[in-house]
Structure 1
């Protein structure tokens, strides 16, 4: 019998969501997370992320250094967004859509929050201030780096060795939980003869997969200094609730120090990177697959945390803004007799050198409308879903690669649609980009699919979504603080 493409897409996103977010008794999703889908995906080559693994200033020559800083600029611009819950859609999950043309940039709104916030002023003792400075120095350190535009050396703030170890082991923990959730989701949705292997794998190996999660969690504690870093952050938060003036000033300074510039663009930007930096060659990729037999499982899977409205239609192919088309003959009613899809998935941590989200958890600051803060709303009302000018931020980028689709009808629909797209326009299905050229700064790349008569293949890397952290109410000053205590 024919299977609607929209049902297949629902099954696919349900499996990706459970793989990334979890949802059983051993690996649970965080109530303060929100998943953002990208439609169509954002293509990346291994070279685009060279600075993440090799750094910028370790380049062997000026040409390579300039190219790496341009790649850093491109990534920073793509990740400088605030999640938009108004674009959420209703499959009963904490999900929404990525808006690359959003009016609000994370770095600028964060700067304005820091700049115009009023903070409580209860001066610390000399001993408390010294301990605070010492602990902050364990998390981040300053280095002298040369400005590419002026050749002047400047101080820049970067994660310390302690934080690098923390992030590295957290990434390994996420890899282990991703594998665990992927195996569980595949077994839960397994049907028919082709599903026996996934079911048997979970029945026999669930404990082994869980032990990998436990081992990664233990390694994060012992080798990644998880408890130590969490304790340091807890002390900073507790101590600075009494006097935030110096802390706020240091955050503003570190924000400014995290900016670098590129000769090609001539505009300073907030340095942003990914962990693992060498994700294109890392072993943290998880195999995902879906067939037409998964559709009923997706319909029956109703586990929720909070609901949002809207709609993402997997029956329709998606297009770039510049990929105008004459018409589309394929709508949500289009169906296929046979369909199977596989790809590899990897989660990468987003690291922003000048961004300190612990400020939002602190309860010793306020914003006053008209006193620098000129927005209609406060940063976040803390509701689920929240409203506000700064409701959260991306913590992970979800990459996929080696997309393989086997379906005669799907291939025919894709080729028909692609033939009606203007030259250079991108074509996607749900969060997956299937083809099209893309441009970043002065770079122009082609992102093409192949068709061997049986399988439509898309081998390049692409970001299909982001995991975001949602803020609680911010600002949310302690009840016992008087308005006069804020300066």
Structure 2
């Protein structure tokens, strides 16, 4: 039985761009290609690579697990005798620290939401040298989606006469019709008002809400220890406040028709869900409920997240290594279509301004005869609770006829690659993160010194889709991350996003020609 060689072939004369191209081919294989156990890759997915990668700190994602509510995190302080103890703050100081942390969570959420709120340019998905380009001409992903909901029509799925009669019967239990004098004309007009059942429901519900708010207010005041009185109030009166809430709830059930009202409303909702105009209204409501306003920018953004929330601190990352042996294998592959969207700078190092200005290539005179690159890699799905892709791919909607609100009549024309005038040819669905990058050259020390001279000028250095070191912007702050080296190679600690997995939309809108009535 033949044994595999452990000696890497000499590659001193390998072209840098070929080496990087082959390494990206291996990354693409690791992430996408399936077999009998792993589901094969979808032809509707592609990868777009950042050039260079975008650094993140682990704490940049605290908002995912903590939420948007600030918490007080006690700090250790040094005492005069050299020992350490937990800092002691007044109630006001503690409240101020929590407020600062709340602000930080909102800033993290806004920064992340804007980072992933992009429409990738899929016009180059057949290119072998690719990078992440963004379509800026039509706005952000949320812009296009919001305008689509606003200017779209859905199929008029009119309910049957029997269903309409049932809904009307239920609605008559919730509202009554009466005559009212028009104060301007003096004429009697018919108006709809809440039925006695609904009025009682709302009255009893409001009493329960007030009792609940009183209870929660006292509980939160005690938990945050805003005053000594608050702590005493909760300790003494908690049982009384709890009893008030229970009494109000039981009164709501027994005398406010709570179960009857909600049962009727549920039946109406179940039957009305078959009406697509109501379904679209729910999607618009979900979008509106996800809208937040940035504290510093004052601009709206739509909350997005990643799953799982603790991915940055998880130990379950995959170790990736690329050596000269891998280069020999991948150089023989006939197809290397591993990404999308424009030209990716391969092989040489790049240097650019920290504000994302123009970048230039430079040759660090690398010796690739014993090249090796390794890192941990992780794919993390992007969660957008406000985005309903099933609506965009449905055959039951179209743009309103005669609408001039869009430059194109398609979100995507369905072609591969999509035409340049498609407003949303694709969307990012997954972020590709790596951490603890190590690069080894035969002359690693010499290469490291060359990088030091470039980073020392305040620039940002990258190598393909990898961030090597230098200054960069994060939100409104300036940060820096430096590489370090030893006899084993060049190291870049920490987390960075090297690209996105993107999904190509089919033709959209693509309405069913059998639909004749639209609303």
Output the TM-score relative to the length of structure 2.
Answer: 0.66
CA distances 1:392-450 after superposition (whole Å, capped 9, x unpaired): 21111010000011114455345425524674321111110000222223322212111
What are the equivalent positions in structure 2 for 1:1-400 lying under 5 Å apart?
1=10, 2=12, 3-27=14-38, 28-57=40-69, 59-60=71-72, 61-88=98-125, 90-91=127-128, 96-99=130-133, 102-103=136-137, 104-124=139-159, 243-302=275-334, 311-321=343-353, 322=355, 329-330=362-363, 336-368=368-400, 370-387=402-419, 388-400=422-434
SS at 2:25 equivalent: helix
Give the deviation of 1:26 after TM superposition: 3.2
Are the equivalent residues in 2 in contact too, given 1:11–1:290 (CA < 8 A)? Answer: no
Are the equivalent residues in 1 in contact too, given 2:127–2:337 (CA < 8 A)? Answer: no
SS at 1:366 equivalent: strand
Aligned-residue RMSD, C-alpha: 3.1
Are the equivalent residues in 2 in contact too, given 1:408–1:454 (CA < 8 A)? Answer: no
Give the deviation of 1:308 after TM superposition: 7.0
Give the deviation of 1:326 after TM superposition: 10
Are the equivalent residues in 2 in contact too, given 1:397–1:463 (CA < 8 A)? Answer: yes
Are the equivalent residues in 1 in contact too, given 2:351–2:361 (CA < 8 A)? Answer: no
**Structure showing greater Rg:** 2
What are the equivalent positions in structure 2 for 1:396-475 lying under 5 Å apart?
396-409=430-443, 412-413=446-447, 415-416=449-450, 419-420=453-454, 423-475=457-509
1:381 & 1:313 partners in 2: Cα distance? 29
Q: Assess, with a 3 A threshold, how the Cα gap between structure 1 residues 358 and 414 changes in structure 2: closer, same or farther.
A: farther
2:281 & 2:374 partners in 1: Cα distance? 49
Specify the alignment match of 2:244 in structure 1.
none
Q: Assess, with a 3 A threshold, how the Cα gap between structure 1 residues 475 and 433 changes in structure 2: closer, same or farther.
A: same
SS at 1:39 equivalent: strand
Are the equivalent residues in 2 in contact too, given 1:89–1:311 (CA < 8 A)? Answer: no
Q: Assess, with a 3 A threshold, how the Cα gap between structure 1 residues 42 and 260 changes in structure 2: closer, same or farther.
A: same
SS at 2:123 equivalent: helix
1:297 & 1:270 partners in 2: Cα distance? 44
Q: Assess, with a 3 A threshold, how the Cα gap between structure 1 residues 297 and 84 changes in structure 2: closer, same or farther.
A: same
Unmatched 5+ residue regions in structure 1?
131-143, 145-235
1:435 & 1:413 partners in 2: Cα distance? 13
Unmatched 5+ residue regions in structure 2?
1-9, 73-97, 168-208, 210-268
2:295 & 2:140 partners in 1: Cα distance? 22
Q: Assess, with a 3 A threshold, how the Cα gap between structure 1 residues 254 and 11 changes in structure 2: closer, same or farther.
A: same
Structure 1 window deviating more from structure 2 (29-38 vs 79-88): it is 79-88
Are the equivalent residues in 1 in contact too, given 2:23–2:322 (CA < 8 A)? Answer: yes
The alignment of Structure 1 onto Structure 2 pairs a total of residues equal to 374
Q: Assess, with a 3 A threshold, how the Cα gap between structure 1 residues 363 and 422 changes in structure 2: closer, same or farther.
A: farther
Q: Assess, with a 3 A threshold, how the Cα gap between structure 1 residues 272 and 107 changes in structure 2: closer, same or farther.
A: same
Q: Assess, with a 3 A threshold, how the Cα gap between structure 1 residues 323 and 471 changes in structure 2: closer, same or farther.
A: closer
1:277 & 1:307 partners in 2: Cα distance? 27
Give the deviation of 1:309 after TM superposition: 8.6
1:371 & 1:423 partners in 2: Cα distance? 52
2:507 & 2:105 partners in 1: Cα distance? 38
Are the equivalent residues in 1 in contact too, given 2:52–2:466 (CA < 8 A)? Answer: yes
CA distances 1:351-392 after superposition (whole Å, capped 9, x unpaired): 012111111121111125751432134101112222311112
Give the deviation of 1:56 after TM superposition: 1.2
Are the equivalent residues in 2 in contact too, given 1:323–1:423 (CA < 8 A)? Answer: no
Matched, 1:479 2:513: yes
Q: Assess, with a 3 A threshold, how the Cα gap between structure 1 residues 304 and 361 changes in structure 2: closer, same or farther.
A: farther
Specify the alignment match of 1:168 in structure 2.
none
Give the deviation of 1:30 after TM superposition: 1.1
Are the equivalent residues in 2 in contact too, given 1:84–1:96 (CA < 8 A)? Answer: no
SS at 1:86 equivalent: coil
